[in-house]
Every structure is written in structure tokens, then in C-alpha cells.
Amino acid sequence: MQDQKSASPAGANLLFLREAEIRAAQDMLFFAYRDFTNAADVILEELGLGRAHHRVLHFIGRNAGMSVGDLLAVLRITKQSLARVLGALIEDGYVAQAQGRADRRQRLLTLTAKGEDLERRLFERQRERIVRAYREAGPAAVDGFRRVMRGIMDDDAHAFVDTADLARETVRKG
Amino acid sequence: MQDQKSASPAGANLLFLREAEIRAAQDMLFFAYRDFTNAADVILEELGLGRAHHRVLHFIGRNAGMSVGDLLAVLRITKQSLARVLGALIEDGYVAQAQGRADRRQRLLTLTAKGEDLERRLFERQRERIVRAYREAGPAAVDGFRRVMRGIMDDDAHAFVDTADLARETVRKG
DNA sequence: AAACTAAGACAGGATTGTTGACGTAGACTA
DNA sequence: TAGTCTACGTCAACAATCCTGTCTTAGTTT
């Protein structure tokens, strides 16, 4: 109870790190994630799929041709947890497997046309939210958002995000 | 595949809303939430508690004296889902109930000393991440982060965040 | 008195995650 | 080439977290 620095003359550098600010960040991460993921649930429910299926569709779409091991590393779940979800997506024709050329043990994952279609529908729901938030906040705020989010995640997630960014840059300039 | 605006001379106002930017936001929300929530898992596991327990502790701590109904509205889960988790926390002595004065049907929830203690330990783990992220990004970025997160969540979550902010302001100036 | 509301409880089920063990095919290495 | 390691799949059992639906009790409201 004595951590209130009500009379502190400290500048913004110190002030914005006060406990209440950190707790507000906890709140925001919860609410933003809750409502962002919820946005796609209506479509998923119609198809008898869950959020786990959406995550798999998302990352395969983002990283076409990734191996099962890559996907496990990104999702940070066990092989058995993924098996159920991925198996259902393959059986329903949303995801296709191809034997790796360099390493034939690998099963490289891609979205089928049907899978791309579904992923896009799911994406559009979430897109609305991000677009609204980005528009209201403005470009400078978006840059700040990215920098903070980057700092919150583990360093090894930076690699994934940076790779995706790099791929985007490559396509943009190619 | 034809949504790449590689040769577009559009300014930042339009450019930052390109699809790839939105998809990057999806990635970031996933990774940041994944790693942020994971930060407290070590402590929780020792006590045989899960993330659901942490969420309950967090929001009761943030909003001492809230009713069960309030908590259900914030968490957006069913009464039955909450019952197990809340019941365990009460039985273990982390959370206390008190009959409402205005409405005696209500059970107003507060953290016990033991509950505050645990919540603080859990908080410290997550605090490190936020502090690091905020420090690296700087005050301007933090402001942007807040604005964007606010835009992503539902409007009715704004009320909660604003209320918490207001309470903070009140305490600060009191 | 009747209708509504807050909370708790019981029964049953779905999703998503876990650990552990085992098998196959392919890659690597001594 | 033989032995070892790796990528993937699979079977079994289990745990956490969520769900729907129904019912009861107590207290509030009209």
C-alpha cells in the first residue's frame, strides 16, 4: 500500500514504470487477446472447429511449407496435442502434406485452396478489429505497439516475426 | 496473391494498413500473450493451480469487493466454469467472500493476505517482461501500445480499463 | 403475493492440453 | 555397412478448462 508515489517529482521515464501501469498492461493483454481471438469464433463453431484449428491454419498460411516440427516449436504444444487438430484439418481437406525434398522424413505443410479460403474468412473477422484499432491510434502508435509487443514476447519469437517481416520485404521489393 | 502493393506510392497512412501488417499483428498478439501468460506458470504449477486461477486472483485483486456476477462478466466464462476455480481458491484460503451490504444476495470477493501474497508473486514474474518491454520501447511507444490495445478490445472492456485508470488517478491524487 | 435476480450445485460432455511408450522411415556417422 | 540419431505418427491414459441444461435457495423488486 505504500508503493504509491503520489508526491514523486520523477519524470515520465520513471513514472510510466509504476506498478499501476504494469497492472494496466496485464488487463489490456487479457482483454485484447480475449476479444481478438473471440472475433473468429462464430465461423469456427459453424464448422465444428476450435481455436486450436485456427492457430494451425494461421501459422501454416503464414509459413507455407513449414515442417511439423517447426509448427510444434511455434505453437509450443506437444506432438499429441497437435496430432488431433492437424489430423482433423488434413482429413477435412484444409491442409495438405508433402514429403520434404531435402529431408524426406519431413512432412511439409501447406493450405489447400479450401484451407486458404477458410483462413481468409477467419482473418477478415480479426482484420476488422486491427484496422479499427490502427486507424484510431494512428501510425506512430502502431509503431509503438509493435515495439512493445516485441519486447513482451520471448527472444526466439523475434526470429519468427522478423522472418515473416523479411519475407514481406522480399515480396514487396521483388 | 495480387494484393501486394509493391509499386504503390501511397503514404504511411495507407501503407501501414496493408494486409501483411495486419497479419503481423496476429502473430504478435499470439506470441506476446503466449509468453506473457507463461511467465507465471512455474509458480502456479508448484501450487497445483492453473491460469484460470491466476486470472481470478488478478481481477479480484484489481477490483476488490467485486461480485461474482461482475467477475463472470469480465472473464466471459460460465458460472460453472468459474465455480470450480473460485471454489478451490476459497477453500485454499486465497479468496474471501463477504455478503453484500446493499444486496445481501451478492457474495463480494476479496483477496486474503495469503491471496495477495500469491498474486504479488505471480505479478512479479509478468512485471519483469513488461518492464523490459516498456524500457526498451520508451514512453512514446508505450502510449502507442496502450492506444492500439484499447482499440482491439471490445468497447465494454474500455469501461473496465477506464475505471481502473480512474481509480489509479484517484489514489494518486488523494 | 408474484416475478425477478444472485449465487451455488448437480449431471454430463467437448476441447485442448499433458506424459509416456512404441514403431517406421530416413539421415547421418564411425 | 552397421549403428545411431531424427522426424513423424500413433496408442493409451489423464488433467485442465471450458460448455449446456436444470434445479434450488435466498433475497430483491414490483
**Mean pLDDT, to the nearest integer, of B117-127?**
96
Would you call B113 an interface residue with chain A, using a CB distance cutoff of 8 Å? no
Looking at residue A18, its pLDDT comes to 85
* Residue A164 in this model has a pLDDT that exceeds 80: no
Q: Write the pLDDT tens digit of every residue in B101-118.
A: 999 999 999 999 999 999
Q: Round and report the angstrom distance from CA (B50) to C1' (C23).
A: 34
Would you call A145 an interface residue with chain B, using a CB distance cutoff of 8 Å? yes
Taking a C-beta distance cutoff of 8 angstroms, is the pair A99, A106 a contact? yes
Q: Write the pLDDT tens digit of every residue in A65-121.
A: 999 999 999 999 999 999 999 999 999 999 999 999 999 999 999 999 999 999 999
Cell of B35: 509468453
Q: Round and report the angstrom distance from CA (B80) to C1' (D23).
A: 14
For chain B, give the mean pLDDT: 88
Q: Please give the angle made by the CA atoms of A98, A40 and A137, to the nearest 5 degrees.
A: 110
Q: At how many degrees (to 10) do helices B51-62 and B79-91 cross?
A: 80
Looking at residue B169, its pLDDT comes to 52
Looking at residue B172, its pLDDT comes to 39
% of chain B residues with pLDDT over 90 = 78
Rounded to an integer, what distance in angstroms lies between the CA atom of residue A59 and that of residue A66? 9
Instruction: Using only the alpha carbons of chain B, give its radius of gyration.
Output: 20
Whether residues B141 and A152 touch (CB distance < 8 A) is answered with: no
Q: For cell 486491427, what's the residue?
A: A130
Q: Round and report the angstrom distance from CA (A161) to C1' (D9).
A: 29
Q: Write the pLDDT tens digit of every residue in B30-65.
A: 999 999 999 999 999 999 999 999 999 999 999 999
The one-letter amino acid code at A136 reads E
The answer to whether A42 CB sits below 7 Å from nucleic acid chain D is no
Number of C-beta neighbours around residue B93 at 10 A: 12
**Mean pLDDT, to the nearest integer, of A50-74?**
97
Instruction: Using only the alpha carbons of chain A, give its radius of gyration.
Output: 20
- Quickly state the pLDDT bin for B14 (edges 50, 70, 90): low
Looking at residue A6, its pLDDT comes to 41
Give the residue among A10, A116, A102 at the shortest CA–CA distance from A57: A116
* Residue B89 in this model has a pLDDT that exceeds 50: yes
The answer to whether B5 CB sits below 7 Å from nucleic acid chain D is no
Whether residues A17 and B165 touch (CB distance < 8 A) is answered with: no
% of chain A residues with pLDDT over 70 = 84
**Mean pLDDT, to the nearest integer, of A150-154?**
96
Taking a C-beta distance cutoff of 8 angstroms, is the pair A56, A95 a contact? yes
* Residue A173 in this model has a pLDDT that exceeds 80: no
Looking at residue B159, its pLDDT comes to 84
Looking at residue A161, its pLDDT comes to 85
* Residue A172 in this model has a pLDDT that exceeds 70: no
Minimum-distance CB partner of B76 among A29, A34, A173? A34
Report which of residues 108-137 in chain A place their beta carbon less than 7 angstroms from any atom of strand D.
none
Whether residues A147 and B168 touch (CB distance < 8 A) is answered with: no
Q: Could you say which nucleotides of strand D lie within 7 A of any protein CB atom?
A: 6-13, 16-21, 26-29
Whether residues B143 and A146 touch (CB distance < 8 A) is answered with: no
Rounded to an integer, what distance in angstroms lies between the CA atom of residue A168 and that of residue A159? 14
Phi then psi for A35, rounded to 5 degrees? Answer: -80, -30
Domains and CATH numbers, chain A: 15-137 (1.10.10.10)
Whether residues B142 and A148 touch (CB distance < 8 A) is answered with: yes
Render A68-103 in DSSP notation, one character per residue.
Answer: HHHHHHHHT--HHHHHHHHHHHHHTTSEEEEE-SS-
Rounded to an integer, what distance in angstroms lies between the CA atom of residue A67 and that of residue A97? 9
- Quickly state the pLDDT bin for A163 (edges 50, 70, 90): confident
Looking at residue B17, its pLDDT comes to 61
Would you call A55 an interface residue with chain B, using a CB distance cutoff of 8 Å? yes
Rounded to an integer, what distance in angstroms lies between the CA atom of residue B61 and that of residue B55? 10
* Residue A17 in this model has a pLDDT that exceeds 70: no
Would you call A25 an interface residue with chain B, using a CB distance cutoff of 8 Å? yes
Would you call B155 an interface residue with chain A, using a CB distance cutoff of 8 Å? no
Rounded to an integer, what distance in angstroms lies between the CA atom of residue A107 and that of residue A114? 19
